[in-house]
Amino acid sequence: MRTELKDGERLDELHRNGFQIIQNEKLFCFGMDAVLLSGFAQVPDGGRALDLGTGTGIIPILLAAKTAGSYFAGLEISAVSADMAKRSVLHNGLEQRVEIIQGDIKEAGELFAPASFDTVTSNPPYMIGQHGLVNPDIEKAAARHEILCTLEDVVRAAARLVRPGGKFYMVHRPFRLAEIIRTLSEYRLEPKRMRLVYPYVDREPNMVLIEALRGGRPRMTVEKPLIVYERPGVYTPEITEIYGY
């Protein structure tokens, strides 16, 4: 089936199961953080997963390729991004496993039944108002800055929708780590696993991957560092494996 692309759109290879994704170069496109989160998150066989703020659907599509989950939902507030995500689902023949819903994370508790997912993921906006320049394009700005939702909004939704004993996975920035752990604990999502991502072995980390367990007891494992580049332009073997090259 030939997929019709709208002005400015393109089809990008995902290197998993022959899947492709529709993106618009004029809008916010997914980055390495989403790919790393899809490699860090776990979905039980036959399980149900929800991605909060799914953008163009990258995480549900990758999780559908990498896991044996039965149902993957993506919640996205932007009508433009949700439309691209829905068409990507159809393009890849995933309509029996992946569903894209347009809606607000702050209203997620009304869109889905409580405790109805085994796994919840999110690649939320990293920056608050005083951090960095805000892009004048609202689509790009909302992807990077907490304009339409906050960290607490995301965690609150995840805590409501993941089942007891289920897991919440998030990728974020290390400079907000203390706030992240505090907020997770406030909503009884106990941090259980963490991995810091370094662009190079001798640089500071620029991403953190976190797994939290709903109702878990305090005890967290800090995994070995994930290094992205061996040298400029050359991924480490682990990154190459995560991408599926």
Does this model's pTM top 0.85? My answer is yes
Q: Look at residue 206 in the predicted model and tell me its pLDDT.
A: 96
- Alpha carbon of 234 to those of 138, 179, 238, 239, 245: distances in Å? 33, 33, 12, 10, 12
pLDDT, tens only, 7-21: 999 999 999 999 999
Q: For residue 136, which amino acid is it?
A: P
Phi and psi at residue 116, to the nearest 5°? -105, 5
Provide the token pair at 121: 């993921």
Q: Are 154 and 170 in contact (CB under 8 A)?
A: yes
pLDDT value at 146 more than 50: no
pLDDT, tens only, 158-182: 999 999 999 999 999 999 999 999 9
